[in-house]
Amino acid sequence: MKNQVQLITYVDRLSGGGFNTLESLVKNELQGLFSGAHVLPFFYPIDGSDAGFDPIDHSEVDARLGAWHDVKSFAKEVEVMADLIVNHMSAQSPEFLDVLAKGEKSPYWDLFLKESDVFPEGITSQQAELIYRPRPGSCFSNKTLADGTVVKFWTTFTDNQIDINVNSPAGKAYLEKVLALFADNGVKIIRLDAAGYAIKKANTSCFMLDETFEFINALSKRANELGMETVAEIHSHFQTQIDIASRVDRVYDFALPPLILHTLFTKNVTALFHWLDIAPRNCLTVLDTHDGIGIIDAGPMGVKPGLLNADEIDNLVETIHKNSEGQSRKATGAAASNVDLYQVNCSYFDALAQNEWDYLLARAIQFFAPGVPQVYYGGLLALENDMSLLGKTNVGRDINRPYLTRESVLQHLDKHVVSGLMALIKLRNLHPAFNGEFCLVGDECVGQLKWIGTQSTLILQFDLHRKIAQVFEETDQTRLLLDLNSMLTGE
């Protein structure tokens, strides 16, 4: 994986078209910005109940976007990351429909996980309470077979997402088929979606068990054999991310987004700098994604202390709601149909009350933090919450999943805050110091993030109270490269 900025995007929601249109956009209007692209689920269908994360056919590109040869063409322009949806598949998939029709006679019977596979005598209330689930309610859904038999299938997320029995021969063959397709069509990086939930074991939380680590390890090794890297996508306590990082190629730094918000809200770098001192170095950094802003990643979990305490987490969430004028509250938790217990649904720009200086500093900190940065398409264009789309779908995360046209993209590219962000991206891509040694110095409202290279040192220096943020290069002399205030005035 190149140590340069990557794009996170849906094919159609950014480009207004298919893979060919997205490729043209990246080669032209976005030229020089991204060395890689996490292309969010492009499998059939892209408009299921979970925006492509519930594929009916994980091996088929949705025809509205193109075909596998279009993926392969795009992969010649940038390093493509694709989602391996490890934990589940759609209840409308041919495989599951065959199970409903034929029951145990279906060749896919063992592909899907049932309550009886883990709890042959039935699950007790005590066992059910142990299971960690990102949404409220039972993790099982009753499905009626053609002969009238009712079977409890494991559904960690929604009743349309049937969990895969990844330890069964059918489950292993399914994942191998998708891995091989990815490798044959130029995919270089695989995001292991919801991998933390893949292994279920009685009398446990069924989340990030020792056996889960072993499963991720084996899956990563197989991907490596096929010439691909893996990234584990797991929202959990920060110590879990540190543990996972030693077992996979890359892990997400999901603690960074809430910590940067906390820093800007409180004008205090202490919690952020503590994390940057201990955070994994083999990570991908994000501020926003197709999901909400993770909260659990920075907070306490049970008896485990967090990077922020419970009061600080509450203040963080309430400040986001205030900054977004209540829009995030309408899209989060029970207010919307997808009840994510650990996320606040809001664009990052609105979480910062559309303060352009704060937003550029947040991106500068992200780019100077250890790891390979990713920028979500909504964040690239500093987009506001899409309340119209939220109103149509009542899916909380749609507040930050807008549908754009090429014309609207061009309009947003003219904004000073977007021009400033693009300048930061190009600096992050091109300056050799980012391959050097990272260090930081900070005290309350003042901070310095440094990259010490062989020829020069690059420094991000900021004062949160005085609203000053600048990037300097040190060689034989000190040279100012970027000033956030000047970038926003077009000077």
Active-site amino acid positions = 193, 233
In sequence order, the 6+-apart residues with CB closer than 8 A to the CB of 417 are 356, 359, 360, 382, 488
Tell whether residue 50 is among the known ligand binding residues: yes
**233 annotated binding-site participant:** yes
What one-character-per-residue DSSP string does 280-336 give? -SSEEE-S--SS-EE-TTTS-BTTB--SS-HHHHHHHHHHHHHHTTTHHHHHSGGGS
In angstroms, rounded to a whole number, what is the distance separating the alpha carbons of residues 260 and 287?
9
Task: Please state at what angle helix 416-430 crosses helix 356-368, rounded to 10 degrees.
Answer: 10
Residue 340 marked in a binding site: yes
209 is in an annotated binding site: no
Task: Say if residue 262 carries a ligand binding annotation.
Answer: no
How many CA atoms lie less than 13 Å away from 55 in the CB half-sphere? 21
- Whether residue 397 is annotated as binding a ligand: the answer is yes
Q: Any long-range contacts for 149-153 (C-beta under 8 Å, 24+ apart)?
A: 149/103, 151/114, 151/116, 152/114, 152/115, 152/116, 153/112, 153/113, 153/114, 153/115
Furthest-apart CA atoms within the chain: distance in Å: 80
Q: Say whether 264 counts as a known binding-site residue.
A: no
70 is in an annotated binding site: no
* Residue 241 among known ligand-binding residues: no
Is 479 annotated to bind a ligand? Reply is no
Q: Is 341 annotated as a binding residue?
A: yes
Phi–psi pair at 109, nearest 5 degrees: -55, -40
- Determine if residue 424 is labeled as part of a ligand binding site: no
Q: Was 421 annotated as part of a binding site?
A: no
Which residues carry a binding-site annotation?
A: 50, 88, 191-193, 233, 290-291, 340-343, 397
Which residues carry a binding-site annotation for substrate?
A: 50, 191-193, 233, 290-291, 340-343, 397
